[in-house]
């Protein structure tokens, strides 16, 4: 029996990736990296902090962020996609940078600043399953945020994720005016 006690905590994990990252890099490597850095500094980092989250690490074209609250994580995802869409709107389509976002929650293992476990792995797989600009959340997240934020979710059914023993119930955040950032400011 090891003496060391494993550090664990309940956390909501938000993972992003960039749609067509390889294609963007092929076309203009320096320009893409500069644009990603600019989005990170002006949108991602401030919004994660504003929702009481922290950026755990960078994963190639994506990031992993941790939140103590599932509502905060989902609201951050909604605000991120709204800000990215607003930034893309006036640009020619070839300069658009579009994210997919996945959000899961679970009991994660903490090692220093890093996080491990299924809670993290599932989040990192979810974003691949949603349309560009979309947000995919697990059923566990949906159970905690339902009726607590001004957004609707479409059932994507149970899906088998790579290296996961059991299928995971997934929901797609429905975009539209109800997904505005204002909703969580009101009392429950």
Q: Which is nearer to a second copy, 107 or 131 (CB)?
A: 107
Q: How far is the CB of 7 from a second copy (least distance, A)?
A: 8
Tokens 């890099």 correspond to 25
Q: How far is the CB of 57 from a second copy (least distance, A)?
A: 20
Radius of gyration of the chain (CA): 16
* Residue burial 59-82, b: 16+ Cβ < 10 Å; e: rest: eebbbbbbbebbbbbbbbbbbbbb
Q: Which is nearer to a second copy, 8 or 83 (CB)?
A: 8
Residues in the site for a second copy, rule: CB under 8 A? 1-6, 8-12, 68-72, 105-107, 109, 117, 140, 143-145, 148, 182, 184-188
Q: How far is the CB of 175 from a second copy (least distance, A)?
A: 21
Q: How far is the CB of 8 from a second copy (least distance, A)?
A: 4
Q: Residue 28 gets which letter from DSSP? A: -
- Residue 6's CB is within 10 A of a number of other CB atoms, namely 10
């Amino acid at each position: 029996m090891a003496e060391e006690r494993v550090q664990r905590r309940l956390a909501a994990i938000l993972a992003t990736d960039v749609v067509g990252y390889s294609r963007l890099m092929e076309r203009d490597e320096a320009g893409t990296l500069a644009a990603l850095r600019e989005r990170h500094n002006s949108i991602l980092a401030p919004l994660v902090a504003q929702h009481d989250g922290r950026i755990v690490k960078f994963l190639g074209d994506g990031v992993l962020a941790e939140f103590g609250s599932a509502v905060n994580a989902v609201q951050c995802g909604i605000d991120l996609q709204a800000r990215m869409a607003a930034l893309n709107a006036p640009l020619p389509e070839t300069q658009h940078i579009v994210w997919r976002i996945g959000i899961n929650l679970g009991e994660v293992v903490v090692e220093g600043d890093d996080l491990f476990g299924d809670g993290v792995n599932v989040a990192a797989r979810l974003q691949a399953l949603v349309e560009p600009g979309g947000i995919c959340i697990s059923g566990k997240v949906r159970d905690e945020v339902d009726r607590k934020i001004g957004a609707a979710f479409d059932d994507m059914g149970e899906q088998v994720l790579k290296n996961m023993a059991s299928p995971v119930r997934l929901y797609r955040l429905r975009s539209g005016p109800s997904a505005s950032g204002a909703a969580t400011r009101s009392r429950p």
